[in-house]
Amino acid sequence: MFMINLEEIIEARDRLREKSPLVHAITHPIAINMVANVILFMGAKAICAAHPEEVAEIVGMSDCLSVSLGNITSERMVAIDEACHAANGKNIPLTIDMVGVGASTLRYKFANKLLSKYKFDLIKGNASEIRALASGASNAKGIDVGKADELKGANIEKISMKACELAKKYHTIVLVTGKTDLVVGENSYFTIDNGVENLSKITGTGCMLTAMISSFMAVTDPVSAAICGLLVMEIAAEKIDTDRLYTFFVNLMDEISLISNEEISKKAKVREIKF
């Protein structure tokens, strides 16, 4: 176990507000409003352009790019390919959310095509999605993690090793989301044990997290961005948790912008483990 400087990581929130970077998020219509608003609530600027004929131009003026395979369409696949090419050409941070690669052959093949062509600074997915990318098989239940892949007990070490394989193969950081979240590099990984069950009951919270992390990547490194994004969302959720799900969602959006750095630092449950 190793210590990290949480205060320094969380200060990325202040730098984000000061810089107010333009965050280009190619997401899907189920989550697009939530994604754009959470970027704005954190103090950045949002654009969600997804037309193949304009995405490269938009990337050219952006400070970071995140792409999601959620609710995929043929047009968005073309747009994602064009945007990733432009992002690598400009050398801006690039994040991909591997939604559904454990459930759909189309998404699995497309994801691997993108990974073979472009450099991603962070790959995000649940345990089933990461297992599918690493081994070609998973226990995915639609876009959700399968019970046999859940991040608990011995599975944490097993999935962390699969994520490490991807991190080494693509020289990237891999974020595995779950009850325990894993931020995995080539030599070590972080566990984050914050959050509440209600986050999994609201559609789009995973896409919000992707946008938050991508925003932080405009002002800090991928590992710090991932940890900061997770802590902001999950500790905000702990603070306002309620059995009224829509109230929970509305209050979560507020609390993401209102919660203090001090509260986050005090409640964070983070540790680093060396391979």
Specify the pLDDT at position 155: 87
Would 202 be classed as within a structural domain? Answer: yes
Q: Is 136 annotated as a binding residue?
A: no
Residue 180 annotated as part of some ligand binding site: no
138-197 pLDDT, tens digit per residue, is 777 778 787 777 888 888 999 999 999 999 999 999 999 999 999 999 999 999 999 999
- Asked whether 229 and 241 are in contact (CB, 8 A), the reply is no
Looking at residue 175, which CATH number applies to its domain?
Answer: 3.40.1190.20
- Asked whether residue 158 is marked as a ligand-binding residue, the answer is no
Residue 36 in any domain: the answer is yes
> What is residue 129's predicted lDDT score, i.e. its pLDDT?
94
d(C-alpha 99, C-alpha 72), whole Å: 9
For the chain, what is the mean pLDDT? Answer: 94
Structure token pair of residue 79: 């747009």
220: in domain: yes
Residue range(s) defining the domain that contains residue 67? 6-142+150-274
Q: Is residue 128 part of a domain?
A: yes
Which stretches of the chain drop beneath a pLDDT of 70? 1-3
Residue 131 domain flag: yes
DSSP 97-139: E-TTTTT-HHHHHHHHHHHHHS--SEEEEEHHHHHHHHHS---
Quick check: is 180 in a domain?
A: yes
- Tell me how many domains the chain contains: 1
- In this prediction, residue 149 carries a pLDDT of 73
Residue 3 is predicted with a pLDDT of: 53
SS3 content of the chain, % helix, strand, coil (to 5): 55, 15, 30
pTM: 0.95
Q: Is residue 60 part of a domain?
A: yes
Residue 135 pLDDT = 83
Q: What amino acid occupies position 274?
A: K
Place of tokens 């639609």: 142
CA distance 3 to 18: 28
Residue 1 located in a structural domain: no
